[in-house]
Amino acid sequence: MYWGQLPVVNAIDSLQLAGESIASRLWLGSSMYPSPEVMSQAISAAQPGMVTVSLRRQTAQQLADNDHWRYLQQHLQHNECRILPNTAGCHSADEAVLLAHMARELFGTRWIKLEVIGDEYTLQPHPVQLLAAAERLLADGFEVLPYSTDDLVLCRDLHQMGCAAVMPWGAPIGTGRGLQNQRQLQQLRERLPEAVLVIDAGLGKPSQAMAAIEMGFDAVLLNTAVAKAQDPVAMAQAFAKAVDGGRQAYLAGLMVEQTQASPSTPTLGLPFWHQADSHD
């Protein structure tokens, strides 16, 4: 029996981002759900810290007439999660900066998830255009959260530039393949200890989200894995529990992996031949 105090994942260990407290380390997208009602129920079940919204060049009136947005807005008014507009679909720095300014005006937030796609097949970010857009948006007063690859140099430059968080992919968007390059991601976490790092894209299972948080990543962002599940609401709950479990495991301190077997039953007090056998 453990008589100590267990780590409190949500209340005390909240994520600090750009001087603000984010209630949950699970962030969700708001697209591709079977209906606005299901989206709202899934978000209520998961209680995410952030919910991403794609502007897609809508006018203010088009946004107001959108059922999807109305359901999301109603939910955000009654919960602690915050909206995170993104620049999905942009292919240049100019395009992303323009869309970010539109998002700030329409959504009333300085937070922006920055996406600048460089390849249509893999949806891999364009590193040069991404850096250029981030620099301009930071100068314009945005809190920038760029979606990037797991390249150490790129992530380091985005962090040093002043981005509130850096969001490397686990795998290409929508694939559900999980953490494809765990060695690189682990190195990224070790080399950038002060950065807020969020795994963005490619997660398909709650166990994959838990693995990312156990590695020390600060949060995970996903959409397809919940929206396209047979039961999005139940899947949202599963991801929330996995993220909380991963964070508690990280705080508890994972055992160090070993190459050689080590007996879990002590040999002290056993007859000498048992002690000898256990070391053969």
**3 state DSSP class of 212:** helix
Is 149 annotated in a binding site? The answer is no
Rounded distance between C-alpha atoms, residue 219 and residue 245, angstroms: 12
Is 201 annotated in a binding site? The answer is yes
15-17 and 20-22 strand pairing: antiparallel
Four-residue CA torsion sign, 112, 14, 44, 247: positive
Give the dihedral of Cα atoms 27, 79, 96, 226; nearest 10 deg. Answer: 40
Question: Of how many residues is the chain composed?
Answer: 280
CA distances 57 to 86, 176, 242, 266, Å, are 11, 28, 35, 66
Rounded distance between C-alpha atoms, residue 8 and residue 47, angstroms: 16
Is 52 annotated in a binding site? The answer is no
Q: Does the annotation count 113 as an active-site position?
A: yes
- Tokens coding 95: 């395009």
For residue 216, give the DSSP letter.
T
Counting runs of H as helices and runs of E as strands, what totals does the chain give? 11, 10
Buried/exposed code over 113-146 (b: 16+ C-beta within 10 A; e: otherwise): bbbbbbeeeebbbbbebbbbbbbbbbeeebbbbb
Binding-site annotation: residue ranges for 1-deoxy-D-xylulose 5-phosphate: 174, 201-202, 223-224
* Residues designated as active site: 113
Binding-site annotation: residue ranges: 174, 201-202, 223-224
